[in-house]
Structure 1
Amino acid sequence: MKALQYVEIGQPPRVMEVEKPTPGPGEILLKVTAAGACHSDEFVMGLPEEAYVYGLPLTLGHEGAGIVDEVGAGVTAVQVGDSVAVYGPWGCGVCPACAKGQENYCHVAAERGIVPPGLGAPGAMAEYMLVDNQRHLVPLGDLDPVENVSLTDAGLTPYHAIKPSLPALVPGAVAVVIGSGGLGHIGIQILRAMSPATVVALDVSDEKLQLAKDVGAHHAFRSDESAVEKVRALNGGRGATAVFDFVGIEPTTALAAKLTHPDSEIVIVGVGAGAVPVGIFTLPWETKARAPYWGSRSELFEVLDLARAGLIHVETERFSLDDAPKAYERMHAGTLRGRAVIVP
């Protein structure tokens, strides 16, 4: 079968011929219907050799959906022919975090070598994908897999980041989204669907700012020093109650720190080297900073229910498996509108 693999450090991924997997006990083989491309893939492929830990060759794709093609012994939760999405942050399944469905925070995954698909295990950018356990599958039902596969990360990650902040996002509050690309444009929709706050998008790209407006941002400003005054002007100089940074580099985290008010929150979601200082004489009093990762299994059900209700959608551009390397070229160039989805 064909698979898009990262084969050589520092080189673009290539479409390769690999052996079709066979499910063992407890495993499920999916005929892939869609796989999402993510900036995390680009981050992984940009690592120098001494920092790269994901193994080679690596079949990419941590956002996956498919039709159940075969099941191993003991699998009872899904049947051949079911349309499913893959919950990506695999854990041990039995530690305290996993018992709550928070496999994204599994206590022992690292020490036991448990890795997500596309980030160590073979991913979804292939004609077939092996899933290790039925608990990692969520029914898609009548949701279009191509239009919704990216919700398994690009929807789940912002949902997990935003949900704890919702009690503070009351009428009159301002929520800022920095970076309105693949994750950010869904984060904007989640905020609009679940809070009465004024939603402000910041980006350096006019195209991304237009996308932010198209999906519901109340305001969209250039992500520079002028944004501080513009955001503060929206509520009499107070500033943002919550800032969600979907970029996570030093300029954006520094900007986030300038946007907040006392008892506010900064949530760094983007995979970058940025950070915010936390101390008595740094951020406004009682300002909190979080760096969440992915999301829980139960939250993925909630995200898909938001999509079924028509409250969120993913802007997608489709690529065949043969053209999948071009999706990453477009991502690197910053010319994608929303998410790239690979359709084998």
Structure 2
Amino acid sequence: MNFKKIILGSVLAAASFAYIACGPDNGSGPDEPGKETPPGPQIDLPKESAYSPVVVNGLKITVMSGTEGMRGSLGGVIKLDPEFVDPETEYTANVKTTIDSVSFAVGKVIDGKPYQEKVNINLDGVVFPNEMVSFSQKYLEFKQLSSCGEFQLYISIFASSKEEGEKTTKYTTVIDTLKFVRPEAECAAAQPVESSSSVAQVCTPVTAYEDTLSNSMGTSKSAINFATGLADNPHITIKIANESATIIPGAGVSVFEESAQTTGLLPTKTPLCREDFKKSNFNFEDELTSGLWLAVVTADGTLYPMMVRKAMFESATKGTVTIVYYK
């Protein structure tokens, strides 16, 4: 096994959901003429552990249009490193390591320093403790930001290793590399918009169907054509490897993140319309996790929304994914 030591560089603070704040370290007040006013106290980050049981795949934040203005769309996965061993502990093979919580802080960058923004990033659908957390379909709404310009997102990951009769070891990992820009145009005075009440609302009714894709047995169905519900001429195929599931699109098919639904929740609207579902501008290439919403677009442009109800694994290469899709 590989001992994986994390290079440290963060400032001391409490490992909790709230970040301890300290004021500006210069002698000038925030209301000095020509100087931008900080939205809050300067951010002070938790202290990282000497070792981390967490690995990060594809972590990113992408600026995109939302339902109420611009937003930052998070992406990527954090999960436990299967090869992690802490050389400073005496745990046996019975040790249980978990990701216990994740917290966020958004900083407005002023003179190279981040100041706290009052922003909430909702982790609906994520249950702790867990072995993996997907940031797909998690958003930062720009309307909560105090202004436009450059910002930085900080993610703190708190994990622990436990074994009966042994002391619990806690770990903290800080991600401090995610920067984004809110366009100045979004902070300009809003222009009046003419009423569009005369425009007819289009509704293409859709119905929910549930199915199970699996490779557990030779007779299992691991692919599906959403139009027919069969495995022939599939729109998607499920691949199981390394105790994770991914999607292989069929010919001419594209898979996107769905941006209108809430992670883990099925819509209750009646009637439900195909127009109630929206594909984002970003192709989905991450692992499948419970509660995830996707928009599958076929070669003829038809959109099939789908939600992952549950992903379960019998081994590193065998598993089952239950989905709900609409047509």
Give the TM-score normalised by structure 2. Answer: 0.27
Instruction: Identify, as 1 or 2, the structure richer in strand.
Output: 2
- State the structure with bigger RCO (CA 8 A, min sep 6), 1 or 2: 1
Higher helix share: 1
**TM-score normalised over the length of structure 1:** 0.26
